[in-house]
Structure 1
């Protein structure tokens, strides 16, 4: 990874001076510590833990535009926040060059993300329209990595007949052969926007879909889902309009604080290596409130990364409380981390999978947790 030059052809530098109106960043601000690709400076990617990549590509959506305004608007707000996570080294490789065609942008993004993931970096992608989830997935397929993917979106983009990639990219991901998707989760869909047949199709494939209301009732339900994911794609349409004015889809959705909880859970995952934030359109924003919301979600992702670094390995049983439970004639073990309070449950094949406290309560009352049943069905 030491050689940055082979990625340079796909990227254009940023200017921290421009983003901060020619003012110096404080040494404790993110802009003061992030190692960014600028005209006269290449970042040291070997030292980086988390890498930012701007992809302002919207040609797969109704706007048909491409540019760097969206990623740079988010950077402007993110760089001004104070850095509380000194154990995590941040780098920024700049913005993806647009290319002549949408396919060129997909290919370039796939190449850059796959290189970074292969080098054990966590990539935060500042989009761009939601169809960029496709090249995010292809970055793993390029190395034949079989993954679990989670998408947070008020819609389910399975409209096969649509001419817009942003409305049908999930069909491409789910049906492409060879396929490298072990499992798919969908968080926060709003039922009145989704055709019932779409949910039936996903359920037949044993994929898990969680209604907005179900997650809002207990936001911690999303944590085991994200802990078991390799890639996370989030459309800002999941956030209600009042908290993210650039979202014009719905007045309903997650609150800003709930969206920050989701990204913190994503950051806590030891498996997750790419996190895409899509659907931000700066021309629809109001006083940069949505850009600030996204910047704070990124800050909480970093906070989750800091927690992840403190978690023990499951093999270190002294760092966990162990609970032996029998339910429905099945004997199993639940583990609870002494450091983070997170839970795991053991499946019949002896594998431990992430779960929630509620799963332990159900098993204690001789009830089969739905999460257990879904894992068994997939096996």
Structure 2
């Protein structure tokens, strides 16, 4: 792999690794070092890299360094994983922010094409724009899920920032975005104008209280995602013990790790980014970030590959008549998970398959039996018609 813009893992960390237990992640992960260069990624399943870029962050800080996260992550033990991991080092900030975006886009695209899931640790969350642009040449519509207290739609007419990148994703060509889901938004951080815009675009938004009341209901949202971004500012200040993210409300450590695992276990998620990392974060926050990454990888390990045609042939089919519609549900006999069929108009968008299965919950099926059309099905159908 030839990516000259990647810098190696710091030498001090290599000294730490030499003292770790041989069963720890640090003793088993392939590393980009000064001496050996970028590792061979043949057979690698998950590749981690940092992006030292935060010039478009509204709250300016020093360029982030990720040694403290790595130190905590390397000390952890893998689960009963069959995966091979690599740490490719860091992308340093380019001469311009656009240079950094290009490097991120190039690396993510290359890894996805090799069936390697990139895990990005980044500064400003505007880097999701570069993560998303990696899908430009992959000839598919993409679904973005963002774990965040804000929608980050912003003003697409202005320069991109870590609070306006979603607006750029929506308006910039090529148009690859099919759906955007915001998980854990807090109403008082979002203008009514943005909330109404989310509705008009048929995007999905889930309030923090709605998510934490039954976090398992978020699993279908992640099952339909292609890329996932996580803003560390969505975590409450008590869980991160940080003055930098000073919101009293947000996800606690257990909840954010559960969401990360849902992202990992989704067969469709092909890239995962953890953003808004700051050097000011303390040991507790660094340990939490390392565990968020651990839980994502744990999820990847337990994927069931139910996206394959052969797996879908085994699904149990249920038909539910509602008004003029007949909703078609499918249930996997292996995982017990549910899907609902959305008939797309083939002449509207050639990047969409004729019939697409939208992940849903058993509750959606039971509500349909009571003549209630699932809101997610309605939004997906309307999006294809407008």
Q: Taking structure 1 as reference, are residues 16 and 262 closer, same or farther at Cα in structure 2, changes over 3 Å only?
A: farther
Q: Does 1:124 align with 2:119?
A: yes
Residue in structure 1 matching 2:260, options 259, 263, 266: 263
227-236 or 362-371, which deviates more: 362-371
Q: Which stretches in structure 2 are left out of the alignment for 5+ residues?
A: 345-354
Aligned partner of 2:323 in structure 1 is: 328
Aligned partner of 1:192 in structure 2 is: 188
Aligned partner of 1:282 in structure 2 is: 279
Residue in structure 2 matching 1:363, options 353, 368, 378: 368
Quote the Cα distance in structure 1 between the aligned partners of 2:273 and 2:59. Answer: 19
Q: CA RMSD in A?
A: 2.3
Quote the Cα distance in structure 2 between the aligned partners of 1:145 and 1:352. Answer: 15
Q: Does 1:52 align with 2:48?
A: yes
Q: Does 1:240 align with 2:245?
A: no
Aligned partner of 1:372 in structure 2 is: 377
Q: Taking structure 1 as reference, are residues 314 and 76 closer, same or farther at Cα in structure 2, changes over 3 Å only?
A: same
Q: Equivalent residue of 1:182, what SS? A: strand
Aligned partner of 1:177 in structure 2 is: 173
8 Å contact kept, 1:51–1:122:
yes
Residue in structure 1 matching 2:225, options 221, 225, 229: 229
Quote the Cα distance in structure 2 between the aligned partners of 1:171 and 1:310. Answer: 32
8 Å contact kept, 1:224–1:354:
yes
Q: Equivalent residue of 2:164, what SS? A: helix
Quote the Cα distance in structure 2 between the aligned partners of 1:24 and 1:17. Answer: 12
1:335 deviates by: 2.5
Residue in structure 2 matching 1:252, options 249, 253, 278: 249
Quote the Cα distance in structure 2 between the aligned partners of 1:181 and 1:20. Answer: 44
Q: Equivalent residue of 1:74, what SS? A: helix
Residue in structure 2 matching 1:139, options 134, 140, 149: 134
Aligned partner of 1:157 in structure 2 is: 152
192-201 or 38-47, which deviates more: 38-47
Q: Does 1:207 align with 2:207?
A: no
Q: Equivalent residue of 1:345, what SS? A: strand
1:142 deviates by: 4.9
Q: Does 1:76 align with 2:51?
A: no
Q: Taking structure 1 as reference, are residues 311 and 20 closer, same or farther at Cα in structure 2, changes over 3 Å only?
A: farther
Quote the Cα distance in structure 1 between the aligned partners of 2:64 and 2:163. Answer: 22
8 Å contact kept, 1:56–1:66:
no
Quote the Cα distance in structure 2 between the aligned partners of 1:154 and 1:73. Answer: 25
Q: Taking structure 1 as reference, are residues 144 and 332 closer, same or farther at Cα in structure 2, changes over 3 Å only?
A: closer
49-58 or 15-24, which deviates more: 15-24
Deviations 1:104-134 (A, max 9, x none): 2112111111211222211000011111111
Aligned partner of 1:11 in structure 2 is: 6
Q: Which stretches in structure 1 are left out of the alignment for 5+ residues?
A: none
1:19 deviates by: 5.8
Quote the Cα distance in structure 2 between the aligned partners of 1:22 and 1:208. Answer: 43
8 Å contact kept, 1:50–1:88:
yes
Q: Taking structure 1 as reference, are residues 279 and 312 closer, same or farther at Cα in structure 2, changes over 3 Å only?
A: closer
8 Å contact kept, 1:227–1:354:
yes
Quote the Cα distance in structure 2 between the aligned partners of 1:19 and 1:192. Answer: 45
Quote the Cα distance in structure 2 between the aligned partners of 1:19 and 1:40. Answer: 11
144-153 or 50-59, which deviates more: 144-153
8 Å contact kept, 1:66–1:98:
no
Q: Taking structure 1 as reference, are residues 351 and 171 closer, same or farther at Cα in structure 2, changes over 3 Å only?
A: closer
- If the length of structure 1 is used for normalisation, what is the TM-score? 0.90
Q: Taking structure 1 as reference, are residues 144 and 366 closer, same or farther at Cα in structure 2, changes over 3 Å only?
A: closer
Residue in structure 2 matching 1:32, options 13, 27, 46: 27
Instruction: Give the length in aligned residue pairs.
Output: 371
Quote the Cα distance in structure 2 between the aligned partners of 1:226 and 1:341. Answer: 16
Aligned partner of 1:89 in structure 2 is: 84
Quote the Cα distance in structure 2 between the aligned partners of 1:66 and 1:58. Answer: 8
Q: Equivalent residue of 2:151, what SS? A: coil
